[in-house]
Structure 1
């Protein structure tokens, strides 16, 4: 498959007299990881909102698997194969890890059960065999089985982020948008998260676009990196090319990029 899974063309967003994004192009190829970096205020979050359907651009187009989804709602994009996580995990504290993943699986495969087979006092009603097997496979693949029957309340932040990723994957997306997935994690948790993401791309063929302040993580995981500043794309290429780009090195990543050597 040579066509990008997700692409943006000429994305422009204005807030009054301020241009948050100015004609930004971006491609996320199949079965690859693309990093999106830049200083605060560069336009990363605005671009994520446009890609996920939370904001309509003033100009430009968004394509998902070749289809123009610029006017599509977030729900329509989710059904078409787009999933995302958030900087602060949005989980239901009273549900177990397994229940989070099961609910997401039902939303994709048997959405009527979300309404006709709701939570009871004892938790979810008995899952069907296929549903149970698929959920168990996903939990096992992300090494969440030991936590499967724990409520997410009190989970370490790193584990909570993996639960959010598992919930997103249960809907079998073609593209996963990760918003500051390593924020607040310690070194060990960050490395565990990196291993999860490597397996997701390698074993499931999913395309990942990650917004990150952790430049070292981006350069280690990404096949390509896009750098924004003041709403414009100032660099795009492989991690090696980004490391060597004098504009990026001097003005935007500086010492962090040196530390990533």
Structure 2
């Protein structure tokens, strides 16, 4: 991967605090996603990961703190406004139209980016998706092939296994040409082979399309294997942030909740890397 850590972050959260009544879900959390990078966000249940994702994507307004996309403050802006600035996201449970084919999902997303008026006119007049333009075909087929979805492009997603559905959701998000993509538990429910395929896709889209990825993930080994940096939350507090090697060696992280998981995934790692913040 070719992260650009000294460039303006694609996505940045500064001192995010989120309170729900007397509950402090996030307490002065900071996070930065550089261009062309993969950043992981991990923590046990109740750590505040989903809340932070909600704040970053515009579904929640923080009690305090600021959110930036490419250096432009977006705090308080809607999810639609953030999408217009280059943000896209997926959800833990794929939200797909089961009767549409894989290709039709990507066509719809492509038209939202390049021909939004046509989406509504085709659907409201009952013409379906209508005849595609040559440029649209080229973009859609290139994306399907890039994610390995070409062989199943004409299958309905309702007939596909979960792993393929997750790839369809990633492809649909990429079709709107984001600069930063948020992935919520992308490996949830996947087997080892499907997780490996997803990891390959994530690394490939960063390398080939220059997208930055931020993902919440329960699979610690996946995070430590493919991320440029990792932020760790516990009870709404950022307890560590650094490279995978630094996270592996951080005693606060291991003592807090990762324990055996991080030890088992540490084969070949240098356990004496520098400290993390």
**TM tier relative to shorter chain:** over 0.9
Cα distance, 1:227–1:163 mapped onto 2, change above 3 Å: same
Quote the residue 1:106 is aligned against: 111
Indicate if the aligned counterparts of 1:82 and 1:174 stay in contact, CA closer than 8 A.
Answer: yes
1-side partners of 2:47 and 2:54: how far apart?
14
1-side partners of 2:66 and 2:140: how far apart?
35
SS in 2 for 1:9: strand
Alignment of 1:92-241 (within 5 A): 92-118=97-123, 123-241=128-246
Indicate if the aligned counterparts of 1:118 and 1:125 stay in contact, CA closer than 8 A.
Answer: no
Of the structure 1 ranges 115-124 and 145-154, higher mean CA displacement relative to structure 2 is found in 115-124
Cα distance, 1:170–1:119 mapped onto 2, change above 3 Å: farther
- Structure 2 unmatched ranges of 5 or more: 267-277
| CA displacement at 1:126 relative to structure 2 | 1.0
Cα distance, 1:120–1:100 mapped onto 2, change above 3 Å: farther
2-side partners of 1:148 and 1:121: how far apart?
22
Provide the TM-score with structure 1 as the length reference: 0.98
Of residues 32, 38, 47, the one that matches 1:42 is: 47
2-side partners of 1:110 and 1:80: how far apart?
17
| CA displacement at 1:123 relative to structure 2 | 4.4
Of the structure 1 ranges 121-130 and 80-89, higher mean CA displacement relative to structure 2 is found in 121-130
Indicate if the aligned counterparts of 1:104 and 1:170 stay in contact, CA closer than 8 A.
Answer: yes
2:255 is the alignment partner of 1:255: no
Indicate if the aligned counterparts of 1:102 and 1:131 stay in contact, CA closer than 8 A.
Answer: yes
SS in 2 for 1:250: helix
| CA displacement at 1:121 relative to structure 2 | 6.8
RMSD over aligned Cα, in angstroms? 1.2
2-side partners of 1:51 and 1:180: how far apart?
15
SS in 1 for 2:259: helix
Deviations 1:20-69 (A, max 9, x none): 00010000000000000011000000000000000000000000000001
Quote the residue 1:24 is aligned against: 29
- For these two proteins, the number of residue pairs brought into alignment is 261
| CA displacement at 1:124 relative to structure 2 | 2.1
Indicate if the aligned counterparts of 1:42 and 1:228 stay in contact, CA closer than 8 A.
Answer: yes
Structure 1: which 4+ aligned runs deviate by more than 6 Å?
119-122
Alignment of 1:10-89 (within 5 A): 10-89=15-94
